[in-house]
Structure 1
Amino acid sequence: MFQAGDIREWRAHDVVDPQGRRIGSLEAIYVDTATDEPCFATVLTGLPTRRRLTFVPLAGATVGPGYLRVAHEKDLVKRAPAIDTDGELPAKDEPEIFAHYDIAYSPGSDGERRLARR
C-alpha cells in the first residue's frame, strides 16, 4: 500500500480508471484513523464552473508515470459521494461513501470518525 507521504507527491496528477480513462485530478488523501493507512482519495471532477471533490478508494490503486490508476470504473466514481471543493467531509456522511463502493463501514471503538484528511 502507498505511504501517505509518498502519495501526497501525486497531488494534481491525473486519476484514471482501469481502462486508462481520465476521471479527474488527485486532490487529497484520506487515511483510515484506525491504521493511519491511505484509504480514500478525493478527485477533482466536473466542469470548471461546477467542480467537486469525489471520493474513491485507494485499495488496488497503482501509480504510473504522471497518473494514479484506481480499481474502479469512471462511471462508478463519477456517481460517488462528493463534497464542495472548499468543503469538509461530515462524519455522518462517511458510511455513504463506504456503501457506494460496497465496503464495510464501522466507526472507531469510541464512535470516532473513520476517515481523516492528510
Structure 2
Amino acid sequence: MINAHTLNSLIGSDVIGSDGHKIGTVGQVYVDTETGAPSWVSVRTGLFGMSETFVPVDEADQAGAELRVPYTKDFVKDAPRIDADGSLEHSQEDELYAYYGNGSTGAVGTTVGHDQEAAADTTVGYDTSGPTTDDAMTRSEERLRVGTEKVETGRARLRKYVVTENETVTVPVTREEVRIEREPITEANVGDATRGPDISEEEHEVVLTEERPVVAKETVPVERVRLDKATVTEEQTVTEQVRKEEIDYDDGAIRPDRTDRT
C-alpha cells in the first residue's frame, strides 16, 4: 500500500506499465498538503532520464522496488508536459486529471525531493510560514542520477558477391626447331654415304612439335567469414545543470553609522 510512510522507498523505483514494460524511474513524489497521502509521482523517461512526466498513484501498486501503474509507456509519455517547481498548481492538476480521467483535483500537491531521508510529515517541516512549521529550514539540492540504456546504433551483415579480375601466370613451354648438321665423309660413314644411286633426287621430312599453355579453372574454398560482436567500454562525460538552495541569515540588528564627521 502506498502511503506517507512508504514515500522514501518510491524514490528511484522502476515504474512498470500495464503491458509489463518499464516506463522509467520515479523522480519526485507529490503529496496532498491536507492529507499527506501521495497523489502524483514524476517519472523520468528518455535517454539518461532527462524527460519527466507526471503519473497519478491513486490506482498504482508498489511491489518491492517497482511501482506498477495501469497505463502504457506511450500513454504516460504523451501526458501533458508540466514543469512544476516545488508544487503543482490547481490548473496543472486539472490538466493532468483531465488527461488521465481519474477524478477532480484535491489540495495542491507538494513535492518530496529525491534525497529526502525521513518520511513525509505534513504537520511540520515545510518551508512556509504558518502554524504547522517547525523552527528549522530544509535546504535541498538537485543531484544527477546518471544511468545507461541500450539503443540500436546500426546493423552489420555479410554479403557475398562475384568480381572478375585478370591473373597472369608464367608457364615454361618447349618447341622443336630445325637444325642442319654436316659431317665429313670418313671411313666410318663412307658405306652409308655411297649406298644407293650415285645421282638422285630425294626428300627427307622431319616433324616439329611445340608445347602450348592449356588453361583450366577449378573452384576451391579459401576461407570462412563470420560476424562477431565485441563489447568495448569507454567513458563519456555528461554535463547537466543542477540547482541547489543556499541559506543566508539576517540577525536584524541595526548597526550605527560609523562615518566620522569633522
Letter in 1 for 2:111: R
Q: 1:106 to 1:15 in 2, by over 3 A?
A: closer
TM-score, reference length from structure 2? 0.38
1:6-30 Cα offsets, whole Å, 9 max, x none, are 1322311210112221000011111
Match of 2:29 in 1: 29
Q: 1:60 to 1:106 in 2, by over 3 A?
A: closer
Please tell me whether the aligned partners of residues 29 and 38 of structure 2 are also in contact (alpha carbons under 8 angstroms): yes
- Which of the two has higher C-alpha Rg? 2
1:77 CA displacement: 0.7
**Count, aligned residues:** 110
Please tell me whether the aligned partners of residues 98 and 104 of structure 1 are also in contact (alpha carbons under 8 angstroms): yes
Match of 2:63 in 1: 64
Letter in 1 for 2:98: A
Alignment gaps of 5+ in structure 1: 109-113
SS at match of 2:47: coil
Alignment gaps of 5+ in structure 2: 113-262
Distance in 1, Cα, partners of 2:103 & 2:63: 28
Determine what percentage of the aligned residue pairs are the same residue.
34
1:33 CA displacement: 2.8
More helix by share: 1
Q: 1:39 to 1:107 in 2, by over 3 A?
A: closer
Distance in 2, Cα, partners of 1:34 & 1:42: 20
TM-score, reference length from structure 1? 0.77
More strand by share: 1
Distance in 1, Cα, partners of 2:34 & 2:10: 24
Runs of 4+ in 1 over 6 A off after TM superposition: none
**Relative CO higher for 1 or 2, CA cutoff 8 Å, sep ≥ 6?**
1
Distance in 2, Cα, partners of 1:32 & 1:15: 21
1:31 CA displacement: 1.4
